[in-house]
Copies of this chain bind each other. A is one copy, B any other.
C-alpha cells in the first residue's frame, strides 16, 4: 500500500503540489485510480482521482478513516550525532516504531551544535509514509538540554547515561501505558551536572542494558523498549 501525505488535505479537492507531482508524474496514476492520503493528524482518506493534474491533482472522497492515537506517547529528546546519517537513521527507525515528538538537544559534550529541522521533517514524512503511520510527530527546534529541563513537561522523563551511578533498567522504571520523555545524550554522554539537573527536574536515570551503545542505537532501543512494554 502506498500513502500520500498532505497536512492540509481534508478528504476532498486538491492534493498539494509535491504529492500531486509524485502521484501523477512519478507513479503515473490516472483519472479513476484510487489512492490513500494521510493528513498526519490521524486521518486516512481513500480517494478517487478525478483530475490527474501533475501540480493540482483533484480528488473525490470515497472513504475516510480515523486512526486512534496511541495510548502512550513517546517524546524523544536526543542529541544530534556528529554524523548526520546516523542521526537521520535514528529518526527513521524511531518513526517506524512510532514516536509523538522529537526534540534535538544541545548538550555540554555535543560536537554537533546545529541541526536542520527541515531535513528532519523530510526524513520523518518519508518514514511516516513508508511505515504507514497516521500521525506526524511534532518536531521541535534544537534546544539546550538545560532549557529543555526547565520546560514544563506533563509526562515522566527518563535520562539514559553511562556514568557509574544508581540506575534502574528502563524496562523496570517505565510505567506501562504512560507518556514518556526519553533523553539520549551525545557521543560524549551527558555531563554529570546535566544528569544532576535532570534528576532535580524529576527525570529518572535509567540504563538500557549492559552493552555500550552508540547514541543512535540507544535512541532506537529506548523507543523499542517502550513499545515492547506496551505490546
Residues of A that sit less than 8 Å from B by CB = 89, 93, 96-98, 130-133, 169, 171, 209-214, 217, 220-221, 224-225, 227-228, 231
Q: Which residue of B lies closest to A210 (CB)?
A: B231
Give A130 to B130 CA distance when docked, in angstroms: 31
Listed residue (A98, A130, A133, A210) with the most chain B CB atoms within 10 angstroms of its CB = A210
Query: Does B231 lie within 8 Å of A209, measured CB to CB?
Result: yes
- Not counting A89-B89, A93-B220, A97-B217, a sample of 14 additional A-B residue pairs whose C-beta atoms are within 8 angstroms of each other reads A96-B211, A96-B212, A96-B214, A97-B213, A98-B211, A130-B214, A131-B211, A131-B214, A132-B212, A133-B211, A209-B231, A210-B231, A220-B220, A221-B224
A-B pairs with lowest CB-CB distance, top 10? A131-B212, A96-B217, A132-B212, A221-B224, A96-B213, A93-B217, A224-B224, A97-B211, A96-B211, A169-B231
Q: Which residue of B lies closest to A216 (CB)?
A: B93
Q: Which residues on the B side are within 8 Å of A93 (C-beta)?
A: 217, 220
Report if A213-B131 is in contact (Cβ < 8 Å); known contacts: A97-B221, A221-B224: yes
Q: Which residues on the B side are within 8 Å of A89 (C-beta)?
A: 89
Q: Which residues on the B side are within 8 Å of A213 (C-beta)?
A: 96-97, 131
Q: Which residue of B lies closest to A223 (CB)?
A: B221
Query: Does B212 lie within 8 Å of A228, measured CB to CB?
Result: no
Give A85 to B224 CA distance when docked, in angstroms: 22
Give A132 to B220 CA distance when docked, in angstroms: 20
Please name 27 pairs of A and B residues whose Cβ atoms are closer than 8 Å in the assembled complex, sorted by A.
A89-B89, A93-B217, A93-B220, A96-B211, A96-B212, A96-B213, A97-B211, A97-B213, A97-B217, A97-B221, A98-B211, A131-B211, A131-B212, A131-B213, A131-B214, A132-B212, A133-B211, A171-B228, A171-B231, A209-B228, A209-B231, A211-B227, A221-B224, A224-B224, A224-B225, A225-B228, A228-B228
